[in-house]
Structures are given as structure tokens and as C-alpha cells.
Amino acid sequence: MKKSESSEDYMKSILILHKRNGVARSAEVAMEMGVSRPSVCNAMKKLRKENMIYFGENDHIYFTDAGKKLAEKIYSKHSLISKFLKGIGVSKDRADEEACVIEHAISDETYECLDKFYKAHMV
């Protein structure tokens, strides 16, 4: 089940909102990502069809098990990459910004390699 970059971004945003506020709704996702509400609406429709999320009471967005797993993975990739980039001297803002793109490009294999490398040489 190949997911687009943009879908992955929405998943990550929802997870961030869950961590920050406990809940996530479309309008908050729109704010968080800086996109319009209709864009979020479309993206959510797609993610729902792909069984990544579902809507509960009050339009709250929840992850399915598969969705949760995917979102956590993307988040981990983001964190690791950002940490690594800061570790080699990239400024915090830029590290974060570039991690947002790179996180979609690296496979699980690469994630594991970078994680091992980071722990072995950069802690």
C-alpha cells in the first residue's frame, strides 16, 4: 500500500495533534499544515477510504491500527532525520524543514541503518 507524500504529511499532522491536544479535527489539521479546509477534507476522504483513519463523535479523527502504525513510523523517521541533521551541524529550523521532505524518501531499511549509525557514533 504505497502512500503519497502528501498523505503521509496529513498522517503526521494528525499524530502531532493527538500528542499535543489529545484530539484532532479537520480544521486543526488545516491550521497545523497551513492548507485550506477543503484540502484537508479531500485528504481525509482518501485516508478514510484507505482505512488509515475514521471519524468519531464531533468529527474527531482517529487512527485505525494500520494508520497508527504508519503515522508512528513517519514520525520516527522525521525525528531521527531531524536529530541527525542537527547532529552534523544543520540549524534547527532547517533540519526540521528538510526532515519533512526526507522522511518520505527513506525506506525502513535506511531508517534502521541511520538509527544504528546515530546510536553508535553520534550520541
Partner DNA sequence: TTGACAAGTTAGCATAAGCTAATTATACTG
Partner DNA sequence: CAGTATAATTAGCTTATGCTAACTTGTCAA
**Interacting residues with DNA (CB under 7 A):** 4-7, 9, 25-27, 30, 34-46, 55, 58-59
Locate cell 479523527: which residue?
A: 61
- Choose which of 19, 27, 91, 92 interacts with its own copies (CB under 8 A): 91
| CB nearer its own copies, residue 32 or residue 98 | 98
Closest by CA to 6, choosing from 107, 72, 101, is 101
Q: What are phi and psi of 62, to 5 degrees?
A: -120, 150
C-beta of 93: minimal distance to its own copies in Å?
11
- Choose which of 22, 49, 121, 123 interacts with its own copies (CB under 8 A): 121
Q: In terms of residues, how long is the chain?
A: 123
